[in-house]
Amino acid sequence: MFAPLVTCLQPYVSHKGGNTTLAFALSLMAVAGAVGGAVDIHAAYSVRAQLQDAMDASVLGGLRQEQSQRSDAATRIFKSNLPASMSVTPKYVTDQTTLTGTAVYDSPTVLLGLLGISSFKISVTATAIGKASSQGPCIQVLDPSGSQALLVNSGAKITAPNCEIQVRSKGNPAAIFNSGSSLNFKKVCIEGSNVIRNSTTVDRLSLSCPTVADQWAALIPTVASTPCTMSNGNYNTSSVSLSPGVYCGWFNFNNSSAAVSFAPGLYVIRNGGWNVNGGTWTGKGVTFYFEDTSKIQFNSGISADLTAPDTGTYKNLLFFEKPGLAKTDFIFNNAVANHMDGVIWLPSRNVTFNAQSKMSSDKLSMVMNRLILNNTTWNLEPITASSGTSGALTNIRLLK
């Protein structure tokens, strides 16, 4: 370990001055080691403090991002807080509410190199933690004054124990719950004080309950108007493959056993609508946008497996419309097996789910003007506007 310094001091050791020279050589070695050690150790402490500050900043900043983007964001923050000459690659581990980072760096020495100590290994770590914000409602009925803005008829069965439904209406009655219905919500929040319960019990019903503003409205993107891609059409074959574009006029899906597949992307529906007479629809990463009072009317026997994009401009949006449209109806009829993941944002529509409207979802949110449920069978898990976004965590801090 001391070979470099011994070589340097060899002339003193062989000097004819004998013991005095040897003693001086040895004392010089000790002094050099002490002074060099103090200088290099102080430098290493400074480097460690710089690394720790960078790591603290990286986990705090990274945790504010979506979970899938935290490591990349934290790495950028970490490196931006260090000089370009300092080459070190951090590693991160994250879960829903925490982000932990570690980094190891060999800090070079100067004077201690004479004693064979070329570097100090410095390790830093930091963990940031946040608090998951409370979820908003997964179903919002926005009509503020309509009588029976929510109408639940016989045969309606909804299992959504983690989902809250909010009805803004103060009408008389604001909602009607008819016999033979079964609602298993986390909470049924009605802003009005008057409802009708016809021989039925509504669990976790709260009247005069304050509702929140439309949680998705501020996140709805503006869609630029572009020329029509397709105009009016009939699909009669057993297999139909559609691509994103602007669909103008009326389109009829006439084959009740057709397999209709959608490529990922945005489907704009303008000046008409789609009339769907059964079949099976599949699409992943798809969004349907209603530019005006156009609609999709799902008729008998439809089976749909549709999932919204999980990234990009239309993240989480499955069905949405241009804001500020006139109030119109939107009807789902006799869906034998629907699986839909994403947001159905139709604040101008009076939405009706009719006989045998079966629905399951791993993450669903609905916003509409009014809602009628007839003989529906739903199993739902919620998605809210804060889900998977930087707003999903609050009180982000370092875990000491």
245 shares its domain with 262: yes
C-alpha dihedral over 39, 44, 45, 47, to 10 degrees? 130
Same domain, 308 and 207: yes
Query: Within a domain: residue 209?
Result: yes
Whether 366 is covered by a domain: the verdict is yes
- Indicate whether 21 pLDDT > 60: no
Mean pLDDT calculated for residue range 219-227: 95
Asked if 239 contacts 259 with a C-beta cutoff of 8 angstroms, the reply is: yes
Q: What is the pLDDT of residue 383?
A: 80
Q: Is residue 236 part of a domain?
A: yes
Q: Tokens in use for 228?
A: 């029509």
In this structure, the answer to whether residues 273 and 331 fall within a common structural domain is yes
Torsion of CA 172, 174, 179, 182, to 10 degrees: -170
The last residue of one of the domains, among 91, 109, 131, is: 131
Does residue 215 lie in a domain region? yes
Q: Is the pLDDT reported for residue 141 higher than 80? A: yes
* Assigned domain for 112 exists: yes
Is the same domain home to 266 and 210? yes
Q: What is the DSSP letter of 377?
A: E
Q: Which of 94, 113, 131 is the last residue of a domain?
A: 131
DSSP state of 335: B
- Structure tokens belonging to residue 314: 């239309």
pLDDT at 367: 97
Three-point CA angle 256, 257, 262, nearest 5° = 100
Buried b (16+ CB within 10 A) or exposed e, 127-161: bbbbeeeebbbbbbbbbbebbbbbbbbebbbbebe
CB 250 within 8 A of CB 272: yes
- Judgement on whether residues 169 and 235 belong to the same structural domain of the protein: yes
- Are 216 and 350 in a shared domain? yes
Which residue range is the domain that position 117 belongs to? Answer: 3-131
Amino acid letter at 146?
G
Q: Which two tokens stand for residue 260?
A: 């209709």
Same domain, 96 and 167: no
pLDDT of residue 13: 47
- Tens-digit pLDDT profile for residues 267-295: 999 999 999 998 999 999 999 999 999 99
Q: What pLDDT, on a 0 to 100 scale, did the predictor assign at position 356?
A: 65
Q: Do 332 and 201 lie in a common domain?
A: yes
222 and 320 in a common domain:
yes
**What tokens does 230 get?**
């397709």
Tell me which residue of 97, 100, 65, 61 sits closest to 77, measured CA to CA.
61
- Span 80-87, average pLDDT: 91
Query: Does 16 map to a domain?
Result: yes
361, 320: one domain: yes
Phi-psi region of 366 (alpha: psi -120 to 50; beta: other; left: phi over 0): beta
Per residue in 355-396, pLDDT tens? 666 677 878 899 999 999 988 888 888 886 654 444 467 788
User: Residues 308-325: pLDDT tens digits?
Assistant: 999 999 999 999 999 999
- Over residues 56-70, the pLDDT tens digits come to 999 999 998 888 889
Last residue of a domain, which of 96, 131, 166? Answer: 131
Phi, psi dihedrals of residue 294, rounded to the nearest 5°: -60, 165
Residue 397 in any domain: the answer is no
Domain count within the chain: 2
In the sheet where 119-132 sits, what is the strand order?
91-94, 98-108, 119-132, 393-398
CB 399 within 8 A of CB 136: no
Mean pLDDT of the region 259-266: 98
Position 245 in a domain: yes
The pTM of the full predicted model, rounded to 2 decimals, is 0.67
Mutual orientation of helices 70-80 and 19-62 as an angle, nearest 10°?
140
Same domain? For 299 and 347 the reply is: yes
Same-domain pairing of 225 and 322: yes
pLDDT in tens, 148-174: 999 999 989 999 998 999 999 999 999
